[in-house]
Structure formats: C-alpha cells, structure tokens
Amino acid sequence: MVGRLRDLLKRIRMYLQITQMGPIARRYFVKNGFDGSMTMLGIIVGSWVVGVERPEIIVTAGLGACLAMGISGLFGAYMTERAERKRDLKSLEDAMKTNLQDSVLNDASSFVSFYAAIVDGGSPILTAIISLIPFALALSSSIVIGDAYILSFILTLATLFTLGIYLGKIAKENMVLYGIQTLAAGIITVTIALLLGAL
C-alpha cells in the first residue's frame, strides 16, 4: 500500500516535471483562491450592511457562490488545459513524425488537465469555506451572529494576506509586502462596500 502510494506520487511528480505544470498550477491556485476570498468578502460585507441576522442565509449564499466558481473553474480549466495539451502533443507528433498516443507524454498531458481542473476549481471553494466557518458556528449557536461577522472578516483578510505571502515566496521578493498588497485589496473592497451601503 505504501509502496503503491510512493509510486503514484513519483509518477505525479514526473508528469508535472514533463509538462512544467507546477508554475501554472500555482497561478491557478492563487488567482482563484484570491477570487474566492474576495467574493466572500463582498457577500459578507453586503450582508452586514443590510443587517442580515440569519447565518443560514450567508452560508447558503456563500456556498452557492463558491460552488458556482468551483464548477466554472473545474470545467473551464479542464477543457482549456486539455485543448492546449492536445495541440502541443499534435505539434510534437507532426515534428517527430510519430504517434505519441501510447507514450508517457500523452499520459502526462491527460493527467495535468485533470490536475489543473482540481486546483482551479478547488481553490476558490477552499478559501470561501474558510470565510464561512464563523457562520457555520453561528448556525450551531456556538457564537452569535455579530461575532461571526467579525471573525469572518478577520479570517478572510488573513487568507488574503497569506495568499500574498505565498506570492512573495514564489517571486522570491518581500513576502510581507506582497501580503500587505493583497490585504489592501480586501480592505479597499470592504471600504467601498461600506460607502455604498451608507448611500
């Protein structure tokens, strides 16, 4: 069992190396994770401005939004990546004058299309769920709705900051500066939503 798992992980690493999918997957993860957090921030601030007191409304709206984003990312990334990989494979076949359908290149191309879809579709769902945890706690009466709003704001902004830190690490630049930049985007969103709510 452990040996089989080790072989699977080794094969996945090989596929990612062959297709150079690692950097692409990182971009998918951060971009869509950022979108998930920002979408949830909009829903949460909007709910707070209009005075939504029922956590189930926020949880339902949040899950609906992140599910739509996840499914869109899943199918969009799969079809896009599959088309690009098939084109590259056909170009290589033409250049080499050979059929690569039974090759490791074909297997790698098929796998990374699926891998990209999982990363692209999963990241906004993951970040959105983080934002919804306080409202799930409010649903179970573990905390009150006012505390759920505050905790959700903190968790969402912390998620945005963490994504920025990760970007800084990828860029090998100042991670805190990147974190501040993504955090600033969240704070600007909150500010605009509050100003619109005050009108």
**pLDDT tens digits, one per residue of 81-135:** 888 888 877 887 777 777 767 777 778 888 888 888 888 889 999 999 999 999 9
Cβ-contact 116, 74 below 8 angstroms: no
Confidence of residue 192 (pLDDT cuts 50, 70, 90): confident
Distances 149 to 14, 44, 71, 129, 183 between C-alpha atoms, Å = 44, 7, 26, 14, 17
* Arithmetic mean of pLDDT, 52-57: 93
Task: Give the integer Cα–Cα distance in Å for 60 and 41.
Answer: 15
Confidence of residue 198 (pLDDT cuts 50, 70, 90): low
DSSP state of 142: S
Two tokens, residue 34: 């950022």
Cβ-contact 15, 112 below 8 angstroms: yes
The whole-model pTM stands at: 0.82
pLDDT at 82: 84
pLDDT at 164: 92
Domain ranges of the chain: 2-198
Q: CA-CA-CA-CA torsion for 133, 136, 140, 141, nearest 10 degrees? A: 70
End-to-end CA distance of the chain: 62
Report which residue type is found at 17: Q
More confident residue, 124 or 198: 124
